[in-house]
Structure 1
Amino acid sequence: MLIKDWMTTAILTVDINTSVMRATRIMKENNIRRLPVMSHGKLVGVVTDRDLKEASPSTTSDVDLHEMYYLLAEMKIKDVMTDKCISLQEDDTLEKAALVMLKEKISGIMILDAEGNLVGLLSETDILRGFIHATGIQDGAHQFVIDMPDKPGSVSRVIDLLRKQDARVLSILTSFDDAPPGMKRVAIRVSIDDANVDTLKEAIGKLESYRIVYHGKDDLKNLPTKSN
């Protein structure tokens, strides 16, 4: 999956000489947490809601309210921004972006084109959207998690069984850290007639050294919400 297919392209930016007060208002009105900072059409930094909060005088300080507003109006983004913002290319993968975010403990990345122009923003939410789409969970499919030999062709044996049951493979994810030595753990999400599930499970169980760790079908009708 490529970043350019999942990034947000409707970007709000601020100039380095924008006041902190105006940037704060832009963030609040648009419910966003970061703003790319531009100078002469090029990305030079990023400012986050945390940067603005840390730069603002505390309401418990001795600063007069009018003086505080004056300071915020005079203070510029270039004085509080981070000039070493992390960026990736639009043709980089979504997986690479997720790895960078996790490693750097950030929730958003600036996306540039080959010429170094800012073309998008990628957030944690964008990555989650891509991941959900790739897994196929939204299609209400069955998922099988299977420990199988870490050998060429081991997944193909399961695919052959799925084909015999007219199952359509939606996604295949493989991991090794959580599998026994010499094995790999493969999560396969498939669209299959419920009447064929037991036959498929029985067929997989007959494969030597294959073990079904989990089988289930996610209930998407009653997902928890903030109001629950």
Structure 2
Amino acid sequence: MSVRDFMSGNVITVPPETKVSVAVNIMKENNIHRLPVINDGELVGLVTQGTIQAASPSKATSLSIYEYNYLLNKMTVTDVMETTVRTINAADFLEDAIYEMRKYQIGVLPVMSDGAVVGIITNNDILDAFLDVTDYNEDGTVVQVFVEKDRTGVIFDIGKIMAPKF
């Protein structure tokens, strides 16, 4: 299974000069939490709800809502984006994406092909892949077989045992 099989392919991106308030609206309108930042066709950063929140004044601030909105309209995604962005190739195995996400404790990987962002894969995409692989939404019986000593022909032998039962 490749990353391409489970990534979200219609990735929405923004240029670096995008106002943070615009990025927030794009995320809300599209029900997404992350936006790759693209400059001249190249991935230069990733803006997330978390990076925006980290750059925002705390709730204990004395700023009025108008002052807060003014600040959001002044800041661009360049001011709040993460610039060290881990990526994965669309042709890589799904397991490679899982490994990268766990190793670096991140919830998203922009998916690359020929130097361009072609998709995005998130924790939720990984969970969907797991449900797909386990046929969770399918009627039937799941059989798990543990083979103590693997050898050539073991799957054939298991098939011969199982065939008369079904």
- Compute the TM-score of the two structures, normalised by the length of structure 1: 0.66
Report the equivalent of 1:60: 60
Higher mean Cα deviation, 82-91 or 129-138? 129-138
1:133 deviates by: 2.3
Report the equivalent of 1:107: 107
Greater Rg over alpha carbons, structure: 1
Report the equivalent of 2:139: 140
Where does 1:116-135 land on structure 2 (aligned, <5 Å)?
116-135=115-134
Higher share of residues assigned helix: 2
Higher share of residues assigned strand: 1
Are 1:152 and 2:151 counterparts? yes
Distance of 1:140 and 1:11 partners within structure 2: 33
**Relative contact order: is structure 1 or structure 2 higher (C-alpha 8 Å, sep ≥ 6)?**
2
Percent identity over paired residues: 32
1:129 deviates by: 2.5
Distance of 1:147 and 1:129 partners within structure 2: 25
- Compute the TM-score of the two structures, normalised by the length of structure 2: 0.89
- Identify if the C-alpha distance between structure 1 residues 53 and 141 changes in structure 2 by more than 3 Å, giving closer, same or farther: same
Where does 1:86-97 land on structure 2 (aligned, <5 Å)?
86-97=86-97
Distance of 2:125 and 2:97 partners within structure 1: 10
Q: Residue 31 of structure 2 aligns to which amino acid in structure 1?
A: N
**Unaligned residue ranges in structure 1 (runs of 5+):** 166-195, 198-228
1:33 deviates by: 1.0
Per-residue Cα deviation, 1:133-173 (whole angstroms, up to 9, x for no partner): 222333222123334322314444222212x32xxxxxxxx
Cα RMSD (Å): 1.8
What SS does the aligned partner of 1:9 have? coil
1:53 deviates by: 0.9
Q: Residue 51 of structure 2 aligns to which amino acid in structure 1?
A: D
Distance of 2:107 and 2:85 partners within structure 1: 12
**Unaligned residue ranges in structure 2 (runs of 5+):** none
